[in-house]
Structure 1
């Protein structure tokens, strides 16, 4: 199946799903601002990804030199407190859905990822970036703070000190500095970033879906739970996986000295 949800002309994003790999392309020039239309389209894309049972997701931009540059300030300037609250609920809902989607998610950052754009990327399992990319949370320069998870996810990723540096100064990090503190997982040349993101996504989509999802859950538990409770989550997860078809195939393939063929689990395969 090759879906093109929200991909009609003028849409702020396009979605394709190919053999279990979903690709969300942000395509709202000039900056992929996270206005109401893009947030609604993102929720629609996540609905389709869940229905299709995709095994991995890649998020990238088709707009040159930008991943996503945050909230639509023209929109925000027209809102009162109640309207802003409703917008924030919608944005937080979309980003939290991405963070808890289940399968591995990869953000391919080739340019600016600022404000809500970085919050979107931080909700992904992995972030890869081109050398010239800039990642930051500049809300303090507007007299605000990140409202879609920035103050919560950033310190969990990089620690309190580096998080406060980004948040209190509002200055963006170049990709090399972002990689140094753990905000970026891999730096890839701009010409190769789409190919590399798709390669990583394809490897996840072709992998053992239940094990990949369980690993993400266990690592999240390590962040959120005391050690003893996290160990219980891990033990339950590996016991649940032990007699699955993919585990049986993986062990058999290792003993037979061959590559494993994991079960077909996507409706489009």
Structure 2
């Protein structure tokens, strides 16, 4: 399953193209949204394919995937957010079930054990911005734009936005962005820490190339298990009630790598003044 090429899923298992998955040289996985007629709006079909994509990522990580890029194959947009036409036809209970599924997908992205980068080459609104927040890093083109417009539609961000945004940009800025729903361009997003890098090129491919290069540099220079456990320690520590509890989480993660081959290889390579060759074991 983890091989170069393109794998597409639908509810029936056919290649309809809402979500594309591929693996590049070096073990960098790519999830690309491709629902052009809806500007990658988060329909039931697209969310179902994202659920399948997460299963694919889980298998990929077990087979050596070292990083994940989440992007778009639709020019000028990352994700327009909820499919409001579809949402209008749903009952209250159906909306509740769907948003719970969507929240689970975002949590699944956040819990991917290898480093993840969202590539924003256009608009990321509502659920699309929440998808970007679920990744470890956000790389944007100069034409990218983010917004959380839910309150203008009578609801609130429901797929992690109210929780991940303040952890990223601070409490006051998060309230401002959510209460006003105002759009944030790439330069301001970089200034407030909403994105991590802005490229002057406007194309998705240029942003994606930057992300792949970034992830590849991590992959070739760092021990795979060390990255996985460092990410786990950071994220689990943030969920603790006290610094003392968070330090215990760090200790548990550290203990898990003490007996690894990679740790011994790192020490030996330092002693022998050479570059370590990590195996991920």
With the length of structure 1 as denominator, give the TM-score of the two structures: 0.93
Verify: 1:149 aligned to 2:165, yes or no. no
Segments of 4+ moved more than 3 angstroms: 204-207
- Which range moved further: 106-115 or 202-211? 202-211
CA distance in 2, matches of 1:212, 1:11: 32
**1:193 paired to 2:207:** yes
CA contact (8 A) 2:169 2:194 kept: yes
SS at match of 1:229: helix
Deviation sequence 1:199-229 (CA, Å, 0-9, x none): 1222344442211121112222342221111
2:29 aligned with 1:22: yes
Q: Map Cα deviations across residues 88-107 of structure 1 (whole Å, 9 max, x no partner).
A: 12111111111112111110
String of CA shifts for 1:62-85, please: whole Å, max 9, x gaps: 111111110101101111101111
Match of 1:256 in 2: 272
> Match for 2:117 among 106, 124, 147?
106
In structure 2, the residue corresponding to 1:179 is in which secondary structure? helix
User: TM-score when scaled to structure 2?
Assistant: 0.89
| Alpha-carbon distance in 1 for matches of 2:278, 2:58 | 20
Counterparts of 1:64-143 in structure 2, within 5 Å, are 64-143=75-154
| Aligned counterpart, 1:233 | 249
CA distance, structure 2, for counterparts of residue 97 and residue 220 of structure 1: 13
Q: Which runs of 5+ in 1 are unaligned?
A: none
Larger mean CA deviation between 97-106 and 204-213 belongs to: 204-213
Comparing 82-91 and 14-23, the one that deviates more: 14-23
Per chain length, whose mean CA-contact separation is higher, i.e. which structure has more relative contact order (CA < 8 Å, sep 6+)? Answer: 1
Gaps of 5+ in 2: none
Is structure 2 residue 60 aligned with structure 1 residue 52? yes
Quote the RMSD (CA, aligned, Å): 1.7
Q: Post-superposition shift, 1:9?
A: 4.7
Return the offset for 1:140.
1.1
Q: Which of 228, 232, 240 matches 1:213?
A: 228
How many residue pairs get aligned? The number is 265
Specify the SS of the correspondent of 1:121: helix
Given that 1:5 and 1:45 are in contact with CA atoms closer than 8 Å, whether structure 2 keeps it comes out as no
Change (3 A) 1:36 1:205: farther
3-state SS of 1:59 partner: strand
The whole-number CA distance in structure 2 between the counterparts of 1:222 and 1:51 is 26
